[in-house]
Amino acid sequence: TIANFSRLPFLYPDLGEADLNPVFVFPRGVLVGDVRLLKKP
């Protein structure tokens, strides 16, 4: 899932910044509490 997230800049070239906070890692997966995505100017 983290590896999938790293593909976002390639899928969306206008993506300027990504902020995930908090990120909880569990044995069976990942939970992201909040996401902020900013477009390039």
Q: Where are the domains of the chain?
A: 2-39
SS3 call for 37: strand
- Segment 2-34, tens digit of pLDDT: 788 899 999 999 999 999 999 999 999 999 999
18 closest CA partner among 31, 35, 4: 35
pLDDT at site 5: 87
Q: Is the pLDDT of residue 39 over 80?
A: yes
More confidently predicted of 5 and 37: 37
**What letter does residue 25 receive in the DSSP assignment?**
E
Q: Is the pLDDT of residue 1 over 80?
A: no
